[in-house]
Structures are given as C-alpha cells and as structure tokens.
A and B are shown apart, each in its own frame.
Chain A
Amino acid sequence: MPHVVTGNCRLCRFTDCVTVCPVACFHADGEQTFIDPEVCIDCGACIPACPVHAIYEVLDLPDDEQHWVAINAERSRALPVISDKQDPLPTAAARRAELGY
C-alpha cells in the first residue's frame, strides 16, 4: 500500500517530506510533490513530516481522494526526483493558515 500526496500540497510545496524519505521516492513539479508507488516502501516517515497533512497511505485515503493514486503514479513517472528540501511556494504560509494547521 504505497503513500500518495494529495491536494493540500498545492499552493504549499513545503518539501519537508523529501528530507525524511529513506528511498528518495518523491518527484516534483512547480506545484506539488508526488510519490512514485514503485519505489515507496510504505515506511510512513513522510506523513508526520508534512506541515499540512497532505500525505496519506492509500489504505486511509478518503473515497473522494482516490484519484490521487493515479495522479501520483503518472506524475512521478514524468518528473525528476527531488531529494533536497526547497523553499515553500510564496503562497504556502497563507494556505497553511487557511487549512488550519
């Protein structure tokens, strides 16, 4: 059961997740990160690392978030690996407050 990055990452892209992943399975574009399900080893280290709780184990994905499984698989295949922390997006602080974290 791999893990997936969902919508809360958009407008944030904190990238704290990549610093704790032992297998460098995160890929990213300018908007958010994605987990490669072929590499993810389900350790779960990323879940508590995300300041806006964007990451779920597929087991725990709410029904209306299931589409993120395919998105993470497709986008991670098309994008480069990201293994160093980067600055969050300019909209991150506001988005985080809006989400209540």
Chain B
Amino acid sequence: MSAHVSETRIVKGACPQDCPDTCAFLYHVEDGKLVEVTGDPDHPMTRGGLCVKLKDFAEHHYNPNRLLYPMKRIGPKGSGQFQRISWDEALGEIKRRWTDIMAKYGAQAIMPHAYLGHQGTLNGLTAGDAFFNRLGASVAEKTYCESGSSTAWIMTVGPTGGLDLESLAHSKYIIVWAMNMLNTNLHAWPFILEAKKKGAKIVVIDPVRTRTAKQADWHIRIRPGTDGALALGMMNVIIAENLVDRDYVEKYTLGFPELKARAAEYPPERVADITGVPASDIRKLAREYATTQPSAIRQGVALERSRGGGQAIRAITCLPALVGAWRHVGGGTVEMPIWEFPFKFDKICRPDWIKPGTRVINELDLGAALTGEMKLDPPIMSLFVYNSNPVSQAPAQSKTVAGLKRDDLFTVVSELFITDTARYADLLLPATMQAEQYDLMVTWGHLYMMLNQPAIPAPGECVPNVELFRRLARTMGFDDAYWTATDDELLQEFYDWDSPQLKGITLDRLKEKGFMRLNVGAPNERAPHANGNFKTPSGKCEFKASAAENGNFVVPVWRSMYEAKQPGERVDPVPDYIPPFEAPHSNPELAKRFPLSMVSPKPHAFLNTQYANEPLQQRRQGEQIVLIHPRDAASRMIENGNYVRVFNERGSFEGRAELSEDVMPGLVLANVGFWPSLNRSGTSVNATSADKHSGLGQAGTYSDNLVDVARV
C-alpha cells in the first residue's frame, strides 16, 4: 500500500496581457493540474499580487468552452456553427484557398489582422509578421492603441524609455495625465503612494472622476480631447512667468523660439474656454509643476484617442525639458518605456521579405476595407485574425460585421474561444494559453526581462502562435531557416544580447530566475536625460520636430517594420492644439443632433474582451453600464437603473444607466470590452465610434465621439 502524496511544482512565468504591469507569475501545479497562479513576491513591481482580471486565471485554462481543435464552419457565417476537423484538413484548406486567391488576385488580397491578445516576443504583436511579409500579403497597420503616442514620443524625445515608473517614488510633484492607474497600471501606484508619504503632491487630469482621481490631492476635470490646449496653456504661463530652466533649454532642446511663439497663442483665459479648466487652476498647475522638482508626468494612452491626441502628447512630452525636470531622479515623463529593450525588430518581422510596392491597410479601417467602401484593387479576399477581436474592439462596428458576413471572404481565426469575431470564421484554429506556452514577454510599463515558462502541457491540439506560423510556412512551401529555428534560437536572434542593457542577462539565467532588470540604471539613480542625450537626430529634445519633415508616420514596429507607404500628410512640427472631430465646441452642428460626448475606457474586471465570457468576471464587472450625469439624465427622463440606448448616426448599443457626478454634464462613459453578443442589444460601444484617425500615427479616435442617450 502506498500513500499518494500530492506534489506541488512551482513554475515561473509572466502575464500575457496587454497591460503595462507585466506581472511575474508563479504557476502552482499539483499532480499535473494548474491549481493556482499567484504573483511573485520577489518582483519589485508585482510584489506578490496580480489583479482582478487575473483572478481565477488557473481555472480559465480549464474553461469548458475553450477551442481545443481546428474547426470548420458548417452553418451560415455568424451562426457559430462549427465542426471539428484535423490540423491537416485545416492547413490543406488554407493552402487550397490561398493558392486560388493568389492566382486570381495576387497575394495582397490576403490580409492579416492582429494586435495584442498576447504580448510575447514569439507569440505577440509581431508573431505573424515574418510569415505574412513572406507571403506577400497586404501589410496591416496595427494602430488600435499606442501608435499615436509612439509617433508623438519619437518626434519629441526619440526612442527612450524616459522616466522609470519605479522612480516615481522620488518625485515631488506627480501628474497622472489621462490614465486610470488603479485600473490599468495598479502596480505602479505603490511608488506614487511612497512619493506621497514623502510629501509629494499628486494631480490627476481626467474628464472623469475615476478611482484614481479620487485618490489624488487634486483632480483636474478637463473636456475630452482638449489636453493639448492645457499643455500649451501651462507652457504659456511657465514662459511668461520666467519659470523656464533656461540653461537646460539652451543646451538640450531644439526649437524653443517656435515653441514660445506657439505657446503665446494659448493664454490661460483662452485655454479655460477650450478645456473647461478655470484659468486660475491652469496658472496654479503650471507654477506648481515648474517649481516643485523633481516633477513627473505619467501619461496615459487615452490622450491619443481624439483627433488632436498625438499633438497633445507632443506638447506634454515637451514640458519636462522646459522646466529642467529631466535633471533629477524622479523627474521627466513616461508613457511606454519599451524603447529601452534592445529588440532586433528587423530580425523578428523580416521586412526584407516585403515585396516592393506592397500596400498598407490600417486595421481600424477593417470594415471599410472589407465592404468595398475603401476602393481596393485587389479587394480583400481573405482575412487571417489572431490576437485580436475586431468585432468588439475596432471602431465602426456595423461595418466590421457587414464585412465579415461576406460569403466570398475566406476568414481564418486563431482563438481561445468562439468570440464575436470568431463566429464569422470559415476556419478556427485553437491557441494555447499562457501556462501552456514558452515566451519572453514584452512589457511597456517596467524595465524587466520576463520569461514565461510552460507549466502544463497544451490541451487538445492547441498550439502557440509561433508554432502556428511554422505550420503555415511549411504548408505554403517556405523553406527559409526562420521556420525551423527553435524558440530559443529565435529569441537569440530577436534581441541584441550583446547590448549594454542585457549585460549579464541570458536566457539560461532567465530560466532560473524568471525575471531580470535591464541595465539602464536603478530606480533611485536613473536620470537618462539629466544631460540631454535624447535619442533624436539632433540628440536634443525637439520642441520643433525634425521627424515631421516627411509628414505623418506610423512607427514601423506597428506595421511589420515596413517603412514605405507611410500616411505622409503634413504635420505641424511644433505642437499645437487640434480640436476633436466631434465635440460641442468644435462641431456645434453635429452636437445639435448628438449633444453628449462619450468616452469608452477599459473595463475593470476584463482585459479588453478577455475574461468577459467568464461568469465570475461578469459578476465582478457587472453588466454594460452607461454612466450619465444626473442633469443629463433628468432632461431625458432617465432614472438610475433604467435601460438606455446610446446612439448616433453610426449605430447604437444598450446598457443600464447609472447616474453619477463622476462624469461632467455633457459627458457619458461606457466601457469597451463587453462581448457584443452578450449585451442586451447585440452591439457594444464601438457601434458608435468612427473609423477616423487622429492626426499622428493613425491612432483610433474612440473617445472623439458624440452621441445621445434615450430610455429604452
């Protein structure tokens, strides 16, 4: 007789989600089953805790609705009726259909659609780029999120990581500009609390009184899409009142005379009129920011989500150099420190395989591209979706659905579940979840290399994306060495392991430790721009951006490293305020019909659409709420708890009204991420958003949106 002793194994991993925190995981495996996933207490940011979204992450791996096998559509598109097939059958079908399409239309008739459903080096944003470049497909420009910020950042300070979030503990004045950190960057918050304990003042700039705003010393409510004006107003005051760090500006910046001339156009009274922020507050903010060093600005991606968003980020990113904040540890600004990581994107994406003259189609134009609204020759005849859920996340939802309904469109979707997008597929391919795959994670919120090691075997016939594309490459007859390299061989190629940042860091050491910090200065020492050293062509902080010379551009990493066919329209080299497409003050005609501005931030318990199909997370999140000011509700006869329709000429969705003064009069809020099919109306917030692009980096304009609300 032998006693059965349960054996728990701990495996080190890292979070797969599109989140700046990229937490260090400990997978707990008992008798071959994943029983728990906890945060690693040894990681300085994770500190042993994860988040609400990752609760029940272990159980998620065993969700009975997981896609485990390739599937073939057997009913009409969108009916969700599928039948299991083998991988051989699936790949054979893909080969047959693509060969046919390429013969009739050329390879550009095939288009991938991918974003950050996974955030790994092997399986994430760029997982399919080399394959589709090799195939000759249309290049898909991935600007769901962050591209506008990237363009603005690169134009101003170059590819620098900027201020380390951990260094915020050393700041004396912290502006959190357009980010609900308690919801989407919670692991950076303790550093702000540490600063606060030492006397720092915390300012939150946000149209909504969010959880984060409630924790601030000062919440500045601003009309959505007007942040550029506020930044220019601050500059106006700083310059007029002689609060400029003249020495820093003279030595380390370019274009001060032009910036000064621009800022002179934005006195506080004018800015107050635009932003709704009182002139006295603008003066106070500017003075405090300039004179309380080290001062820091933590920028949120939300800034980019309106027509003038990119230019707003340009203006904000100029502020620290103006006041000399970069001189100090804890001074400066941060948006996405990813630029510190020594990626070899050309090795990852293989832009050398892109056939000259290949066209670029922006992913946010998916609906227009599929339906023929965009005149494309050749038309798109096949769509391959992975790491993305465009029916929910792309703007102009009704166009996306109309496009996917096309019977002559051959659609393949790699997924974990049959999402609203996957319902329209001809073929479904099953993907692994994080505990089942190996990857070096990409982070955009801290400075640690994070290795995720598999803890349990892949279920069914699920494969990681890196393996999916190997299979597709073999299927299409590609015989390049790329397709037979192992995961580690690829990772060796994909990073510059000889760079100073990675000194002492190797894959073997990462396998042992799980994570290691880049050699870019410790948080209590790092001041990367104390003496300039900006990563711009001039080496200076460019108030007047030389990168604007060739017009608007998308940073190549967001478009498979393709440099050609950039949007190229004229861009003001000096930051300016550009009003939203849709706001009462900038579009009064439209506002007569649709008077309310709507913002659609991320949900609390879902990560975009992931986990939105988990019953426990649905309970935690609640149903689709429409947050509305009591005054706007009263004039529409809406009481707390009533079901309402939010609508404009693009479409509508329904949710439950919640009256709150957390939103300003004239502003409504509804979270993105709810599966449309699980909402009352079968639609969600992006039924109302426009497939327009912001002025820089082709960013989406989800929060540049006028609607009205009525009781159902």
Contacts and interface: CB of A to CB of B under 8 A. Distances in A.
Interface in A11-57: 20, 22-24, 38-39, 41-45, 48-49, 57
A1 interface: yes
Interface string B611-622: 000001001100
A59 B616 contact: yes
B310 interface: no
Contacts of A6: none
B147 to A, nearest CB: 28
Nearest to B187: A22
A44 to B, nearest CB: 6
Nearest to B56: A44
Contacts of B50: 43-45
A24 B191 CA distance: 12
Range, interface on chain B? 20 to 34
A24 B192 CA distance: 11
Contact of B182 (A1, A23, A44, A57): A23
B243 interface: no
A41 B183 contact: yes
A23 B182 CA distance: 7
Contacts of B211: 38-39, 41
A57 B617 CA distance: 12
Nearest to A49: B48
B620 A42 contact: yes
Interface string B8-39: 00000000000000000000000000000011
Given A42-B620, A45-B50, A59-B619, A23 B186 contact: yes
Of the four ranges (under 10, 10 to 19, 20 to 34, 35 or more), the interface on chain A belongs to 10 to 19
A76 interface: no
B190 A48 contact: no
Contact of A41 (B48, B182, B197): B182
A79 to B, nearest CB: 17
Given A24-B193, A38-B214, A43 B186 contact: yes
Contacts of B490: none
A72 interface: no
B605 A42 contact: yes
B52 interface: yes
Contacts of A59: 616, 619-620
B663 to A, nearest CB: 16
Given A22-B189, A24-B193, A83-B193, A44 B55 contact: yes
B47 A23 contact: no
A2 B700 CA distance: 33
Nearest to B41: A20
Contacts of A38: 211, 214
A16 to B, nearest CB: 11
Contacts of B524: none
A57 B52 CA distance: 11
Interface in A47-101: 48-49, 57, 59, 83
A50 B233 CA distance: 48
A22 B620 contact: no
A77 B370 CA distance: 54
A24 B215 CA distance: 10
B604 A42 contact: yes
Contacts of B214: 38-39
B277 interface: no
A22 B190 contact: yes
Contacts of B55: 42, 44, 57
A63 B193 CA distance: 35
A45 B182 contact: no
Interface string B177-214: 00000110011011001000100000000000001001
A24 B49 CA distance: 14
Contact of B49 (A39, A44, A57): A44
A23 B215 contact: yes
Given A22-B186, A22-B190, A23-B182, A43 B49 contact: yes
Interface in B596-625: 604-605, 616, 619-620
Nearest to B191: A22
A23 B189 contact: yes
A35 to B, nearest CB: 14
B606 to A, nearest CB: 12
A100 B214 CA distance: 39
B51 interface: yes
A45 B619 contact: no
Interface string B209-242: 0010011000000000000000000000000000
Contacts of B190: 22
Query: Which of A38, A39, A45 is packed against the most chain B CB atoms within 10 Å?
Result: A45
B47 A41 contact: no
B58 to A, nearest CB: 13
A48 B211 CA distance: 24
A23 B55 CA distance: 17
Nearest to B188: A22
Nearest to B190: A22
Contacts of B605: 42
A45 B49 contact: yes
A1 B615 CA distance: 13
B47 A44 contact: no
Given A22-B186, A23-B189, A59-B620, A41 B39 contact: no
B619 A48 contact: no
Contact of B619 (A1, A20, A23, A83): A1
A41 B52 contact: yes
Contacts of A42: 51-52, 55, 604-605, 620
A45 B51 CA distance: 8
Given A23-B186, A48-B38, A39 B619 contact: no
Contacts of A48: 38
A44 B38 CA distance: 10
Contacts of A41: 51-52, 182-183, 186, 211, 604
B47 A20 contact: yes
A39 B215 contact: yes
B604 to A, nearest CB: 7
A43 B51 contact: yes
A77 to B, nearest CB: 13
Contacts of B604: 41-42
A87 to B, nearest CB: 20
Contacts of B49: 20, 22, 43-45
Nearest to A41: B182
Nearest to B55: A44
A83 B193 CA distance: 10
Contacts of A49: 48
Given A20-B47, A22-B187, A38-B214, A43 B52 contact: yes
Contacts of A39: 182, 211, 214-215
Contacts of A23: 182, 186, 189, 193, 215
22 contacts: A1-B619, A20-B49, A22-B47, A22-B189, A22-B190, A23-B182, A23-B215, A38-B211, A39-B214, A41-B52, A41-B182, A42-B605, A43-B50, A44-B50, A44-B52, A44-B55, A45-B39, A45-B48, A48-B38, A59-B619, A59-B620, A83-B197
What are the 3 A-B residue pairs with the smallest beta carbon separation, nearest first?
A45-B49, A42-B52, A1-B620
Interface of A: 1, 20, 22-24, 38-39, 41-45, 48-49, 57, 59, 83
Given A41-B182, A59-B616, 4 more contacts: A42-B55, A44-B49, A44-B50, A45-B47
